[in-house]
């Protein structure tokens, strides 16, 4: 604007008035400014437009780990819905670092996103919670339980339902010694563990008999924990991997050991990624509709952007257990 003002020989405030379509501008002033704009090759600046109209028709999406296909599919589901509404998406990747979540929230706010969808790395990281609580644009939180002072709409999965069905099936097959390779302390992880323990208790099996190994949503954690569990003096007869990345690592160890799933060990994973149905034998999983989660988050955010008075809402989507050959009858001791 400064350059345009200098070239046109007018005040910066005059340039601002012309560009914002202010009615109080003479024809001569308009021509001078627009000639300078053309000479300088000045492009209409979406940001300046955004400052005027408040709406930039862009939405920010903060994800923790782009290399996790679950996140990528949620993102793609959201983007399709946003595009149909004429909105663009700006995405950031926090490399599983909660400090980058905070940084990315501020970055997207400063780039004038009309609202944010966030799948944060941590539910309790104070700088992230504070940044979300202070945001003036609407926020939709996906698959996370944040402190109440974050005024956001929520899109959540009912992880209990699918996981309960999985455990019912394992018990039906005779398994009593179960292990859960669990992720970080986040809502899906808590819900999965609570569901396993509740079904055990309902069948009068001590929930403390469940062996749990906590760690990251990573193949490394899945591989290590599976090695430890298989090396126990009294190893579990059924293994539940509490995320797709944990499942990939667990399957590495299982392949290395030459275990045949459904015979030597029963196995349930989370999320129906390609490997689950292509593994030999195919893997039972608790699945959720990832694209639908993204779509729901985008629709909710668009509602808040178009009407900032809308109260925060919560959408709960289902999960489903798919039974495949990786779950078989417990081997009877000879």
- State yes or no: residue 38 binds a second copy (CB under 8 A): no
In the list 29, 72, 130, 173, the residue contacting a second copy (rule: CB under 8 A) is 72
Question: Which is nearest to 267 in space by CA: 276, 224, 51, 71?
Answer: 276
Question: Which is nearest to 177 in space by CA: 121, 135, 239, 132?
Answer: 239
For a second copy, the closer CB: 11 or 202 = 11
CB count, 10 Å around CB of 10? 17
Q: Which residues contact 120 (CB under 8 A, 6 or more apart)?
A: 62, 64, 94, 98, 101, 128, 132, 141, 144, 146
Binding pattern for the stretch 266-285 against a second copy, x by CB under 8 A and - elsewhere: --------xx-xxxx-----
In the list 35, 40, 95, 316, the residue contacting a second copy (rule: CB under 8 A) is 95
- State yes or no: residue 104 binds a second copy (CB under 8 A): yes
For a second copy, the closer CB: 100 or 210 = 100
User: Contacts with a second copy in 224-253 (CB under 8 A)?
Assistant: 248, 251-252
In the list 4, 19, 59, 100, the residue contacting a second copy (rule: CB under 8 A) is 100
In the list 9, 26, 40, 80, the residue contacting a second copy (rule: CB under 8 A) is 80
For a second copy, the closer CB: 38 or 274 = 274
Alpha helices in the chain (DSSP H): 2-8, 12-19, 27-39, 46-53, 69-84, 98-110, 126-134, 159-172, 187-202, 219-230, 244-257, 274-278, 290-306
- State yes or no: residue 157 binds a second copy (CB under 8 A): no
- As a whole number of angstroms, the distance between CA 130 and CA 137 comes to 14
CB count, 10 Å around CB of 312? 15
Given a contact cutoff of 8 angstroms between Cβ atoms, the answer to whether 272 and 322 are in contact is yes
For a second copy, the closer CB: 136 or 332 = 136
- State yes or no: residue 160 binds a second copy (CB under 8 A): no
For a second copy, the closer CB: 180 or 254 = 254
- Tell me the window of 109-117, 169-177, 195-203, 207-215 that interacts with a second copy (CB under 8 A): 109-117
User: What count of residues does the chain have?
Assistant: 334
User: 264 to each of 181, 302, 306, 328, 332, how far by Cα in Å?
Assistant: 18, 50, 55, 9, 11
- State yes or no: residue 13 binds a second copy (CB under 8 A): yes
CB of 207 to a second copy, least distance (A): 32
Sheet holding 238-241, edge to edge: 211-213, 178-181, 238-241, 266-270, 284-288, 319-322
- State yes or no: residue 79 binds a second copy (CB under 8 A): yes
> By the criterion CB under 8 A, which residues form the site for a second copy?
1-2, 11-13, 16, 43, 45-47, 58, 66-67, 69, 72-73, 75-76, 79-80, 83, 88-93, 95, 100, 103-104, 107, 110-112, 219, 248, 251-252, 255, 274-275, 277-280
């Amino acid at each position: 604007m400064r350059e345009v003002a200098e070239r046109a020989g007018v005040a910066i405030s005059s340039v601002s008035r012309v560009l914002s379509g202010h009615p109080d501008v003479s024809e001569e002033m308009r021509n001078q400014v627009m000639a300078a704009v053309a000479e300088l090759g000045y492009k209409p600046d979406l940001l300046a437009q955004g400052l005027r109209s408040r709406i930039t028709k862009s939405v920010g999406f903060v994800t923790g780990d782009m290399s996790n296909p679950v996140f990528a599919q949620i993102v793609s589901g959201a983007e399709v819905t946003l595009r149909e509404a004429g909105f663009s998406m700006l995405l950031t990747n926090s490399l599983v670092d909660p400090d980058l979540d905070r940084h990315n929230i501020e970055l997207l706010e400063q780039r004038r996103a009309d609202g944010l969808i966030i799948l944060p790395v941590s539910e309790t990281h104070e700088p992230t919670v504070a940044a979300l609580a202070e945001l003036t644009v609407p926020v939709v939180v996906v698959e996370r339980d944040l402190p109440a002072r974050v005024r956001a709409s929520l899109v959540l999965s009912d992880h209990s339902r699918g996981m309960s069905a999985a455990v019912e099936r394992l018990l039906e097959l005779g398994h009593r010694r179960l292990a859960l390779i669990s992720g970080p302390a986040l809502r899906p992880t808590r819900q999965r563990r609570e569901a396993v323990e509740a079904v055990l208790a309902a069948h009068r099996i001590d929930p403390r008999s469940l062996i749990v190994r906590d760690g990251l949503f990573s193949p490394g954690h899945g591989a290590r924990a599976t090695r430890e569990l298989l090396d126990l003096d009294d190893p579990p007869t059924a293994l539940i991997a509490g995320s797709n990345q944990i499942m990939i690592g667990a399957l590495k160890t299982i392949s290395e050991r030459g275990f045949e799933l459904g015979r030597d060990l029963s196995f349930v994973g989370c999320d129906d990624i390609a490997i689950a149905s292509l593994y030999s034998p195919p893997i039972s999983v608790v699945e959720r509709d990832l694209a639908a989660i993204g779509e729901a988050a985008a629709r909710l955010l668009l509602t808040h952007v178009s009407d900032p008075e809308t109260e925060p809402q919560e959408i709960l989507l289902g999960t489903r257990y798919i039974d495949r050959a990786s779950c078989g009858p417990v081997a009877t001791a000879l």
